[in-house]
């Protein structure tokens, strides 16, 4: 087992915090804007929505990298595969049935995505949609953010 010089679990928690703040503040901020600001408010919208979405995308990528490093170091996915039925969403593959995502898949799909999108339409279970670079291998991964939060919340830092 190698030792990494960064506090990986603390970095996982930090990036999870940014992702969760983005996912669960979007609707209340939209309601606030609608109720209190008539007109376009282009730069306020940019500050409240565009910048936070970019920051959340960066945090999701960093979260994936730190989860992957942690898994490489401690083989968490191997342990989970033997002891748990946890899934983290679904993988959509062309002309094949959907597959469930395991913890290691979450990190890999985020890292290898060509684009990250957010589906915040489900109040209590937002999705991070990873669009594939290689459509012949997989089309998209739909990652359940609450499941990722549950996993990360179980890590000690």
SS3 string of 58-77?
HHHHHHHHHHHHHHHHHCHH
Radius of gyration of the chain (CA): 17
The verdict on residue 66 lying in a domain is: yes
- Amino acid 35: pLDDT: 97
- Residue 100 domain flag: yes
Percent of the chain with pLDDT over 90: 89
Whether residue 3 lies inside any domain: the answer is no
Reported as a single tens digit per residue, the pLDDT across 6-59 is 788 999 999 999 999 999 999 999 999 999 999 999 999 999 999 999 999 999
Q: Residue 1 domain-assigned?
A: no
Count how many domains the chain has: 1
Output the pLDDT for position 95.
92
What local confidence, expressed as pLDDT, does residue 61 receive? 98
Report if residue 91 sits inside a domain. yes
% of the chain residues with pLDDT over 70:
96
In a domain, 2, yes or no: no
Residue at 43 is within a domain: yes
Confidence at residue 1, expressed as pLDDT on a 0 to 100 scale: 43
Domain of residue 121: give its range: 8-153
Residue 79 lies in a domain: yes
pLDDT at residue 6, as a whole number: 73
- What pTM, to 2 d.p., does this model score? 0.91
């Amino acid at each position: 087992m190698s030792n990494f010089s960064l506090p990986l679990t603390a970095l996982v928690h930090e990036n999870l915090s940014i992702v969760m703040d983005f996912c669960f503040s979007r609707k209340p901020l939209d309601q606030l804007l609608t109720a209190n600001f008539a007109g376009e408010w282009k730069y306020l919208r940019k500050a409240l929505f565009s910048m936070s979405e970019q920051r959340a995308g960066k945090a999701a990528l960093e979260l994936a990298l730190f989860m992957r490093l942690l898994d490489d170091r401690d083989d968490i996915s191997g342990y989970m595969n033997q002891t748990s039925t946890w899934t983290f969403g679904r993988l959509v593959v062309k002309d094949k049935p959907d597959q469930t995502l395991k913890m290691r898949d979450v990190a890999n799909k985020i890292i290898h995505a060509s684009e990250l999108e957010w589906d915040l339409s489900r109040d209590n279970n937002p999705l991070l949609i990873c669009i594939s670079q290689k459509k012949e291998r997989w089309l998209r991964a739909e990652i359940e953010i609450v499941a990722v939060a549950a996993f990360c919340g179980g890590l000690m830092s």
